[in-house]
Structure 1
Amino acid sequence: MQKLIVSLLAVLAGLLVHAQKVTGKVTDQLGQILPYSSIQVKGSGIGATANAQGIFQLRLTPGQYTITCQYVGYQQQEKTITLGNEDLELHFQLPQQQLTLNEVIVKKGEDAAYEIIRQAIKKRPVYRDELKQFTAQVYTKGQFRLRDFPKKFMGQKVDFEDGDSSKRKMLYLSETVAKYSVQLPGKSKVDVIATKVSGQSDGFGLSAPRIFSLYENLLTMGSGIAPRGIISPISDNALHYYKYKYEGSFMEDGRMVNHIQVIPKRKYEPLFQGYINIVEDEWRIHSLELIGVKEYGLQTFDTLRLQQLYVPTGSGPWVLRSQVMYPTIKVFGFDGFGSFANVYSDYNLNPAFPKGYFDNTILRYQDSSNKKPEDYWSQTRPVSLEPDEVADYQKKDSLERLHNSPAYLDSIDRVRNKLSWQSLILTGQTFTRQKNRSSIFVAPLIGTFSYNTVEGYVVNARATYTRQLDTLSISRRSFSISPEVRYGFSNKHVNPNVALNYRFGHKRFRTIGIAGGSDVFQFNNENPVSEFINTISSLWDNINRLKLYEARFAQFSYAQGLEDGFVWNLSGQYQDRLPLENSSNYVLRDVKDRGFTPNYPEPFTDSNITRHQALILSTSIRWQPGTKYVEFPGRRFSVGSKYPVFVLGFTQALKGPMGADVQYSKWNLGVNHSINLKLGGRMLYQVQIGGFLNKDSLQSPDYIHFKGSATRFTESYAGRFQLVTPYYFSNASKFYTAVFFEHHFNGLLTNKIPIIRKLKWNLVTGANALYYAPGRTYLEPFVGLENILRVFRFDFIVGLEDNGRVRHDFRLGLSSSLFGRR
């Protein structure tokens, strides 16, 4: 009984002691806002960060406190307060740092900054590895806004469906609280505790607590932002890339801090410009404000400003207190800007991680992390919301409820389902039914109408009905059915077929597919020739690379994600194959001395197939070592790894069942890899090996085929020989090896050539090679330029056969990697 009374008294005492709010605003002495200033309660781990309007808020129990306020480039300020039972306002007006030009020992003719930077470079590895492991709580607030946008984009009216006609928009607003765990070398994990997205009650906000450390030689920010990374101003080779200017020093907590301007030596190198503050004698980073621009290696954004503030822990190491990134972008009439702020707190520099803690899940959203009440956020967020952010949450939450009403969903469907010429011709038209989470996609006319010498003009009408089976936005459960009818006006053949697909699975995805009917197939079932390009080449150049046969078919497929980067696939198909012959010789332009070739895949055969049947089973296993995952409640996504992808496959054709005539066994092993060489660009390679184990009975579609190029406009660069026709190297070898290699310099070398660097064209080079029998080898080196008008690539290629034949030509295509178009 006594214990119960004591417990009740303790609870009552806790209820009587209320936390009071200390709120205020941080400006400079002219009243200009200092956004994301750092506020700290001296001698404690309690702190806050001002928002973009300079407003901050602390929750403290009554007592006396010393509050410090810091902002990069301004003097730190302290104020002592006595907090009673009432809320308190506390404002800071920070003066700019009064820099003192001290007497410094310098080399003749050299700025004093250089010696400071040399000392910082020497200490760089020490501070990079100073924190062997730690945990921290990280609050992330991301927002992105528009200040202008066009009335129409690609012929479509730009409508954000918010009932607001003003040009200034809050496109994105999210908050996240996460536990960030790090262990050197190279291990990290993010466990999201709470998250919210404006206007998405079931959404998951951005959680990106990664520290962009200048103690690394190169800051990697992703290929879409800075493909080669950005060189740190205190990297080992920084003096080759940067100039420095000593602008003075200031005192803070008994330490002298040197204020140094960072200036790139040359344009078109991946470099920062701005200011960095270095602590005297310790030679560590105090704070920084650096800017990247397009002239210095940025790709997507026009500018990207990075602010960081470090603070001492009292036990020796310094830790990052705040990191803010400010991107801006102008593209296609859209003018956007944003801020992504991380506030780090509650550091534990000696955590005891349990065995297996750092597994292959690098980011995990806890169950109900996106269901936290507003009371939680008001107590937890260290950065106060701005008035327009509060308004955005309220407005979009109301709009979300409205948007989920049946009447509104019907009205949205009516607007979105209006026909447009771009959709009809180029991209396809999607008709949605929001109420039952379904859609119908109708293929565009550019893919519906074509021409080939076998069928003449062709209509290939296709549509796909899709139904999401769960209400959760991240659920993968869905069903689709895709009917197709193909008609050739010259041979008058009608080929109808239908495909059904079901996707399901929670943490591991699964897909089941079945299809059947009648269709035309390329002899290489991987469809190496684009029907669109073949239409142009046939009608205009009298070159018909599309070689077809007809088949009544039935097929099934199953795919499943397994653990640790494995994916298993199983498929089977039955084909009743029928030969087709050319039935049309129509052209728009008759090229002298050039005629259409027969409809069989020459040069490896000189005759067409006869009618036969094939029953084929295939299985494969895909593995990428070190695969990492992002995990949501009930679902997990693979985000790949730095290691190669291996695919091992086996195919067996069975003779006898269902009258099947072909019989063979073949295997294949593929290795794909993309290697980020950072400043050196990106290297990609693909290796294919395999062959027939037996080949008792083969038909042309069953041979080993390699992709070739049909015209001077190449359809892709992925695993394709550019100077030979699509079936030039088709074979039935017991063993073959094909290698495809590319190196994308991403601005390296071409940034030394004035005209090319201004156009932002990038060098690409590589080679393709093949061996499949003694005396049958081929080498295809090439060199080219990519990023032409941002999307095109031009290559000069040489082809060398072992019989002495030499080819050379050019190819124009879309900028690509070995693994698909960018």
Structure 2
Amino acid sequence: MRLFICCLLLWPFTAVAQQLSGTIYTSDGDLLPFASVSVKGRQDGVSANNNARYTLRLEPGTYTVVCQHLGYKTQEKQVQVKENMELDFILQKQELTLEEVSVSSDGENPAYRIIRAAIKRKNELSGKSVPYSVMRYNKDILKMVNLPDKIFGQKIDKNEMEGNGLDSMGRGILYLSEALSKISFDPPKKFKLDVLNSRVSGSDQFGFNFPIFIDLNQNNVIIFLETFNKRGFISPIADGAINYYRFRLLGTFFEGDKMIYSIEMKPRRRFEPLFNGVINIVDGDWVIHSVDAYLTKESQLELVDTLKLQQLKMHDGNKWLLRNQVLTIRGNVLGFEVSGTFHNVYNDYNFSPEFTKKTFSNVIIEYDTAVVSKPKTWWDTIRPVPLEEEEVKNYQVKDSIYTVEKANKNTQAYIDSLRKWQGKIKPHKLLLSGIHRNHYSLTNSYSWGVESVLWNTHYNSVEGLNMTFIPYWSKWYKKNLVTVEGNIRYGFLNGHLNPALKLEIRKRGGDQITAYGNRILTFSGGKSVRQFNPSNPISEFNNTLSTFLWGNNFMKIYENNFASAEYSRSWESGIRLNMQALYEDRLPLDNNTNYVLIKKHRNQFTPNYPFEKIPQQFTRHQAVVLHTSISIQPGQKYIVFPKSKVSMGSSWPVFTFDYSKGFKDVMNSDVDFDRWKVTINGNKNMRIAGSLNYRVWAGGFFNSAAVPIHDHWHFNGNLTDALSNLTNGFQMASYYKLSNTEPVFGFAHVEHHLNGLLSNKIPGFKKMNIQFVTGANVFYANQNFNYTEVFFGLENIMKVLRVDLVAGLEKGRSPQWGVKFGAGGLFGNFVNAFQGGRRRQTFELK
């Protein structure tokens, strides 16, 4: 009896699923990609690919198969499935009628009444959302459409691209991935994406999983985490949509017994972050049925030229549920023309999910530990969007290459290939780019090099021409990266040799890509040349130009014999700790030259000390100082990979507390002070209104018994024409003007990037997407010691430049005006982010 029951329960699963495939055409015989195909009465469904092919897997039986596509009549066909078979669909264009709609007496298009009803219904439903989960399949593909012959004057060898999936013309698939995920949502804000299975062509990595949903029920629509526009895009059913869009009713059609209004949407004004296209609204339910929308450069779209969004929903008897979402992009940067398709299919909605306390946490995306374990045959059975011939070939070629490379990895042949690829040492590179090498070995791999000599050769009024030689060596010892770096500086005019050595031990807590749990221990010592302000408010390069050309020796330096021990650690909670013990024997340096290329500026040289604050050169002294800094950023969100954890950031600001203690008479130390600072640093994206960056701090001295100029609280000044220290300094103040030992003072920096707001109303500006930026820098210690700057600028000029008009305001003085130039905008922000220089990579055999 027990055996009979087991067989009875298992019988439905013993039936062999058959494959129902077909092609979807228009009535004109053209292929119709991305149509939705499902079985009537069931939630799950599939989607046609870009070649209009679909595949359904069904057990033997009789079914009604439903085919839908935006702008076409839904078609149903009954089919008896006995074996693998073909079932094609020919869809007729959706015929729209206006017979069911009456025009209002004031002549307003009926579409506005419908949109108002949809907005009202959206707001009513926003507080009534229920928890749910849904399974999502996504296929993401990036293609190279056109490859230029040259880039920056260098010829591109297109034949070398064939191993990367491109043909001899430089066209083909750059990236191909697919994933199966579970989305869990508990309104209003609890969200979790569990990536269960993932596959990337030619790799065992996990791929990316954005966009998950593009939700037009939000007033402000974000696509790809603000990549395409920081302001987001205004939804056609946003609360104020009627102020931004022109709507026109195209007509109605029926899906079953539901009447659907088809409405054209167009921006009222050009160069606003708005959609063009068609939105379909369900009569009576007043919810979105489907969307066919696009964005262009006139929508303030960045990075790509066009973006098209298609969404199609299904009705399960109660709710309209998103079934199919296709996002396509196309762009051209420096002749590299790229297209992309991001196809999502949603199935198995569950509105009675069994969420636990562990379902939702600060982990937003989590990859299963066996996320890449499924074989090709498994993907062939669950994929709701058939692979195209080009995609099948891409998987075959790239996976085969990857399998061979993986098998040969950690072999002597692999090591030999790396050595061959690296090539021989070219001595001339020492001058320009530096020499950066890996010693490849099965048992003793390490990296070494010497930084560029030319880029470390400078000029100042103390040393004249000076040169710094920076060799380094680094090696992984299990989870510890050990780096030894030298710094040998020679001043040709004063004849001073300043050698120093640094040993850094970096212990990582997890996988190499995550910083959480990392601990860094650093020991350094020797003799060096330093600026009085340890933040280095002016770079040696800028000072070389200003001194050599115009006699403006802004950088003030001294020598020291020093020894330092430093420890830093970060935790995934957002806490970071830094501690440093420093001994310095500080030696004064005086000017030795007033040589300047433009001789009329020879008299502009100033003493080599902060003359704004001290009347004469300091005397040699010793200092023992302990620095401690702790910061925290609450609200961290994370992506969890099988072997690592990466922060997605937080909406909270960073709170930092700094404390420094100068010890009197310890190792003959002459200093005696207690210094503190509290900082709040953050940014806020206000979407349509732009974004706000801010840094506010208060500080001072508990004890200032003996505070040399080196240990004052310093503020970064700037007297050059280049923008500098944008969020942590002043653009018109001299470099040590605001240095102080006050008991209490305050500083605030506020910067508002309008991101196209207002400037999109100005001819010329709006077409080039030049954007406004404005803000202020304020220092206040007391009524007689304060300083304010206000600025207004243009950024995103040619996507990379920024120009600011700055006014310095000080009590008892006329405003000081200046024009400053720098990097800012789409690509300019990348320049600012990486201006600290190239991060060295140390080879590690795995």
What's the offset of the Cα at 1:491? 1.7
TM-score by length of 2: 0.91
What's the offset of the Cα at 1:118? 2.3
Q: Does 1:97 align with 2:94?
A: yes
Q: Could you say if the C-alpha distance between residues 334 and 541 of structure 1 is closer, same or farther in structure 2, counting changes exceeding 3 Å?
A: same
Partners of 1:716 and 1:813 within 8 A in 2: no
Q: Does 1:174 align with 2:172?
A: no
| Residue aligning to 2:457 | 449
Distance 1:741 1:394 in 2: 53
Segment drifting more, 698-707 vs 457-466: 457-466
2:558 paired residue among 549, 553, 557: 549
1:31 paired residue among 4, 29, 32: 29
Task: Please show how residues 473-512 of structure 1 align to structure 2 within 5 Å.
Answer: 478-499=481-502, 500-506=504-510, 508-512=516-520
| Residue aligning to 1:80 | 78
Task: Please show how residues 605-620 of structure 1 align to structure 2 within 5 Å.
Answer: 605-620=614-629
Q: Given residue 821 of structure 1, which amino acid in structure 2 is its aligned partner?
A: N
Q: Given residue 505 of structure 1, which amino acid in structure 2 is its aligned partner?
A: G
Distance 2:29 2:820 in 1: 60
TM-score by length of 1: 0.93
Q: Given residue 562 of structure 1, which amino acid in structure 2 is its aligned partner?
A: W
| Residue aligning to 1:577 | 586
Partners of 1:403 and 1:409 within 8 A in 2: no
Segment drifting more, 738-747 vs 547-556: 547-556
Distance 1:140 1:580 in 2: 64
Give secondary structure in 2 for the equivalent of 1:513.
Answer: strand
Distance 2:824 2:28 in 1: 50
| Residue aligning to 1:329 | 331
Segment drifting more, 750-759 vs 667-676: 750-759
Q: Does 1:369 align with 2:377?
A: no
What's the offset of the Cα at 1:793? 1.2
Q: Deviations over 1:597-621 (max 9, x none)?
A: 1111221112223332222222222
What's the offset of the Cα at 1:741? 0.8
Partners of 1:258 and 1:278 within 8 A in 2: yes
Unmatched segments (≥5 aa) in structure 2: 834-846
2:640 paired residue among 631, 641, 646: 631
| Residue aligning to 2:737 | 728
1:343 paired residue among 342, 345, 352: 345
| Residue aligning to 2:119 | 121
Q: Could you say if the C-alpha distance between residues 477 and 260 of structure 1 is closer, same or farther in structure 2, counting changes exceeding 3 Å?
A: farther
| Residue aligning to 2:382 | 380
What's the offset of the Cα at 1:411? 4.2
Q: Given residue 451 of structure 2, which amino acid in structure 1 is its aligned partner?
A: A
What's the offset of the Cα at 1:50? 1.7
| Residue aligning to 2:247 | 244
| Residue aligning to 2:755 | 746
| Residue aligning to 1:65 | 63
Q: Given residue 370 of structure 1, which amino acid in structure 2 is its aligned partner?
A: V
Distance 2:180 2:759 in 1: 43
Unmatched segments (≥5 aa) in structure 1: 471-475
| Residue aligning to 2:844 | none
Percent of matched pairs sharing the same residue: 38
Partners of 1:686 and 1:818 within 8 A in 2: no
Q: Given residue 458 of structure 2, which amino acid in structure 1 is its aligned partner?
A: S
Q: Could you say if the C-alpha distance between residues 448 and 160 of structure 1 is closer, same or farther in structure 2, counting changes exceeding 3 Å?
A: farther
Distance 2:290 2:230 in 1: 25
Q: Given residue 468 of structure 2, which amino acid in structure 1 is its aligned partner?
A: N
Q: Given residue 163 of structure 2, which amino acid in structure 1 is its aligned partner?
A: D
| Residue aligning to 1:254 | 257
Distance 2:238 2:638 in 1: 31
Q: Does 1:716 align with 2:725?
A: yes
Task: Please show how residues 213-362 of structure 1 align to structure 2 within 5 Å.
Answer: 213-221=215-223, 222-314=225-317, 316-362=318-364
Q: Could you say if the C-alpha distance between residues 428 and 87 of structure 1 is closer, same or farther in structure 2, counting changes exceeding 3 Å?
A: farther
| Residue aligning to 2:823 | 814
| Residue aligning to 2:843 | none
Give secondary structure in 2 for the equivalent of 1:540.
Answer: helix
What's the offset of the Cα at 1:372? 2.1
| Residue aligning to 1:473 | none
What's the offset of the Cα at 1:820? 9.1
Q: Deviations over 1:760-803 (max 9, x none)?
A: 21111111110124410111111111111211111111111123
Distance 2:427 2:103 in 1: 69
What's the offset of the Cα at 1:238? 1.3
Distance 1:621 1:234 in 2: 45
Give secondary structure in 2 for the equivalent of 1:376.
Answer: helix
2:400 paired residue among 398, 401, 404: 398
| Residue aligning to 1:528 | 537
Partners of 2:805 and 2:820 within 8 A in 1: yes
Partners of 2:551 and 2:601 within 8 A in 1: no
Q: Does 1:603 align with 2:612?
A: yes
Q: Could you say if the C-alpha distance between residues 467 and 193 of structure 1 is closer, same or farther in structure 2, counting changes exceeding 3 Å?
A: farther
Q: Given residue 695 of structure 1, which amino acid in structure 2 is its aligned partner?
A: S
Partners of 1:40 and 1:68 within 8 A in 2: yes
2:796 paired residue among 787, 798, 801: 787
Q: Given residue 574 of structure 2, which amino acid in structure 1 is its aligned partner?
A: G
Give secondary structure in 2 for the equivalent of 1:162.
Answer: helix
Q: Could you say if the C-alpha distance between residues 526 and 303 of structure 1 is closer, same or farther in structure 2, counting changes exceeding 3 Å?
A: same
Q: Deviations over 1:603-645 (max 9, x none)?
A: 1112223332222222222111211111112211112111211
Q: Could you say if the C-alpha distance between residues 333 and 319 of structure 1 is closer, same or farther in structure 2, counting changes exceeding 3 Å?
A: same
Distance 2:453 2:801 in 1: 24
Q: Could you say if the C-alpha distance between residues 260 and 237 of structure 1 is closer, same or farther in structure 2, counting changes exceeding 3 Å?
A: same
Segment drifting more, 223-232 vs 417-426: 417-426
What's the offset of the Cα at 1:554? 2.6
Distance 1:285 1:26 in 2: 24
Distance 2:616 2:191 in 1: 60
Distance 1:431 1:77 in 2: 63
Q: Given residue 95 of structure 2, which amino acid in structure 1 is its aligned partner?
A: Q
What's the offset of the Cα at 1:535? 0.7
1:698 paired residue among 704, 707, 711: 707
Q: Could you say if the C-alpha distance between residues 71 and 572 of structure 1 is closer, same or farther in structure 2, counting changes exceeding 3 Å?
A: farther
What's the offset of the Cα at 1:728? 1.0
Q: Given residue 275 of structure 1, which amino acid in structure 2 is its aligned partner?
A: V
Q: Given residue 360 of structure 1, which amino acid in structure 2 is its aligned partner?
A: N
Partners of 2:612 and 2:736 within 8 A in 1: yes
Q: Given residue 28 of structure 2, which amino acid in structure 1 is its aligned partner?
A: L
Q: Given residue 391 of structure 2, which amino acid in structure 1 is its aligned partner?
A: E
What's the offset of the Cα at 1:12? 8.1
Give secondary structure in 2 for the equivalent of 1:371.
Answer: coil
1:586 paired residue among 588, 592, 595: 595
Q: Deviations over 1:647-696 (max 9, x none)?
A: 11211222334333323211111111211111111112110111111123
Partners of 2:517 and 2:572 within 8 A in 1: no
Partners of 1:446 and 1:532 within 8 A in 2: no
Q: Does 1:663 align with 2:667?
A: no
| Residue aligning to 2:129 | 131
Give secondary structure in 2 for the equivalent of 1:679.
Answer: helix
Distance 1:286 1:498 in 2: 67
Partners of 2:632 and 2:655 within 8 A in 1: yes
